[in-house]
Amino acid sequence: MEPTHLFELVIAMFLAIIALHYAAHRLGLPPSVALLTGGALLAFVPGLPAISVDPELVLVIFLPPLLMDGAWAIALARLRRHMIGIASLAVGAVLFTCAVVAVVAHHIFPSLPWAACAALGAIVAPPDAVSARAVLERVRLPRRLQILLEGESLLNDASGLVLFRFAVAAVATGAFSAGEAVGSFFVLALGGAVVGVVVGTAWVKLVRRLGDEYLIIAATVLLAWISYLLGELLHVSGVIATVTTGLIASWHQHTVFSAATRMRGTSFWTVMIFLMEASVFTLIGLSLRDVVERSGGLTTVIATMGLPMLAILLTLVVARFAWVFASDLVIKFCAALGVTRAQPLGAGGATVLSWAGVRGVITLALALSLPEGFPGRDFILVTSFAVILGTVLVQGTTLGRVIAWARLVETETERARLTMSQAEVAMAQAQLGTVQSLAYDAEGQLIHPQLLDRYQRRATVIVDYAERTEHYKPVLHAHFDVVLEAVATGRRELIRLHRAGDIDDETLDELERDLDLEELSAISAKA
């Protein structure tokens, strides 16, 4: 394909992403479903060139920034608190699912080597970070379930990658050692964590010295690929390296970023991640044609592989349910004996956690990376795609209903000690203390009376609001509705002045930025 034609195809894909995302919004569907389905339909449009996805390139381009984004947004305190549960899902559930799928696959195709069956299990076992984000952003979950799913999606790719590489090597050599695979995983994970700490610490020191907003944003965007590629170059886990770097950067960004850097960087990063996530699902759909053609056509695939694919998909679902419910029973038993203070999820929470195992880009990339001549390659490819389609289209669209059925409630231990209003009180009182100390000169003469009065009134109002939040909410919403109307009127007048030639572009930009900040502040206060 000519480079210009490839670029045109990329632009057309972005336009299709916007259209599909809008259609999903209008129809009330998860965007991932619309993008995946739309990509699959576009793949069979006559005249459209077949899309062949390079799995290594897909992983390098898309996985690091998406992992970084997840690590950046995750609540670090809750991540530490629930690390045992996350490790159970990210490592234990992946190992268990891989073993169960391998057994079922070998039972269906006894001629398929055990190592090839294990490779299929490793490919489909880990739920995907991108798919999990796409599903979770549309539902509300208790904090404990949210952190378990987010943490699992960040770390389980490392488990799946290690298992996959050992299974592929076992096919080539004819030997497989479970103990060696487990030991290798911990070495790779530890090495990746060390690389992440080094890269994250270096980033913090660099950002403090750069000074320029755009250089800081550029360095932060490149951070994801630097940590991932360095980890892979040193033959440790690039996934763990990227996640560790993201956690360190997220922790320090509150102190090393200026307000302007944070606003501009967040805007750029949000759009980039949106396009990347959408592109992943669209590319998965577009690759369907290539996968089906490799396997002899759609009719052949359905006739010869339909039932085995369905069996593997059901095995995945059952295995995850079995692991989650068994783990919850262990927690309940240990809590009854007083061994742990952790509380079980209960039937509703365990059901939601089990149903949320959606597969995506990692599954497809690993399947496509299988070498030519690998035993059962066509079956593994088609099954991997069927697993992605099945989990995204079925579990992704019904998770909201499952959550509603479960009627989950937030436990007291997961609630923050302070509400937002109480945090605002603490912040306002700290600010007032600073202003009080600086409002007087060395002789004790008040030199900033208006500023002191402003902060005193603000602290008093916030304390009163925190004590009577429900009483003030309707009034507050009405207040900020007026503020937003005033901002809109000011914006119209500003644009009129600019169009009439009464103000120049610099004045327009400066005053428009002030209006933008005022508008964002009002919208945030209403939320």
> Rounded to whole angstroms, how far apart are CA atoms 455 and 389?
56
Please list, in sequence order, all residues whose beta carbon lies within 8 angstroms of the beta carbon of residue 331, skipping any fewer than 6 positions away: 340, 342, 343, 344, 345
- Report which of residues 467 and 148 the model is more confident about: 148
| Both structure tokens of 156 | 């389980």
Report phi then psi at 428, rounded to 5. Answer: -65, -40
Which structure tokens are listed for 147? 């952190």
Tokens 């690091």, located at residue: 64
> What average pLDDT does the chain have?
84
Q: Residues 6 or more apart from 484 whose CB is under 8 A from it?
A: 519, 522, 523
Query: Structure tokens of 262?
Result: 């944070």
3-class DSSP state of 446 = strand
The answer to which of 153-157, 226-230, 338-342 has the lowest mean pLDDT is 338-342
What's the pTM value of the predicted model, to 2 decimals? 0.79
pLDDT at 239 over 80: yes
Task: Name the pLDDT band for 462 (thresholds 50, 70, 90).
Answer: confident
Between residues 8 and 218, the one the model is more confident about: 218
Closest residue by Cα to residue 221 from 198, 179, 194, 253? 253
For residue 441, give every residue at least 6 positions away whose Cβ sits within 8 Å of its Cβ, in sequence order, or none: 447
Over residues 234-240, the mean pLDDT reads 91
Distance (Å, rounded) from C-alpha 431 to C-alpha 290?
A: 61
Which comes out higher in pLDDT, residue 170 or 19?
19
Copy the structure tokens of residue 74.
């995750």
pLDDT surpasses 60 at 412: no
In this prediction, residue 147 has a pLDDT band, given cuts at 50, 70 and 90, of confident
pLDDT of residue 134: 65
Pick from 40-44, 95-99, 134-138, 401-405 the range whose average pLDDT is largest.
95-99
Question: CB atoms < 10 A from the CB of 404, how many?
Answer: 10
Beta-bridged to residue 446, according to DSSP, are 440
Lowest mean pLDDT among 146-150, 415-419, 466-470, 519-523: 415-419
Would you say residue 174 has pLDDT above 80? Answer: no
Mean pLDDT of 119-145: 77
Is the distance from CB of 158 to CB of 231 less than 8 angstroms? no
Which of 262-266, 300-304, 417-421, 513-517 has the least mean pLDDT? Answer: 417-421
Q: Tell me phi and psi for residue 339, to 5 degrees.
A: -75, -35
Question: 182 Cβ partners below 8 Å, 6+ apart?
Answer: none
Q: Are 149 and 141 in contact (CB under 8 A)?
A: yes
Give the residue with greater pLDDT, 105 vs 359.
105
Count of CB atoms within 10 A of residue 395's CB? 20
What percent of the chain is predicted at pLDDT more than 90? 20
What is the per-residue pLDDT across 358-407, written as a single tens digit (0 to 9) for each? 887 788 778 878 887 888 888 888 888 889 888 888 888 888 888 888 88
In this predicted structure, the answer to whether residue 179 has a pLDDT above a threshold of 70 is no
pLDDT at 415: 64
Looking at residue 198, its pLDDT comes to 96
Give the pLDDT mean for 163-179: 75
The whole-angstrom separation of Cα 269 and Cα 263 is: 10
The whole-number pLDDT of residue 315 equals 94
Is the confidence at residue 470, as pLDDT, over 60? Answer: yes
Give the pair of three-digit tokens for residue 99: 């073993």
Residue 176 — pLDDT band, cuts 50, 70, 90?
Answer: low
- Dihedral of alpha carbons 146, 148, 151, 156, sign: negative
Give the C-alpha separation, 129 to 189, whole Å.
17
Q: Residues 163-171: what's their mean pLDDT? A: 83
pLDDT in tens, 192-224: 999 999 999 999 999 999 988 899 999 999 999
Q: Which residues face 440 on adjacent strands?
A: 446
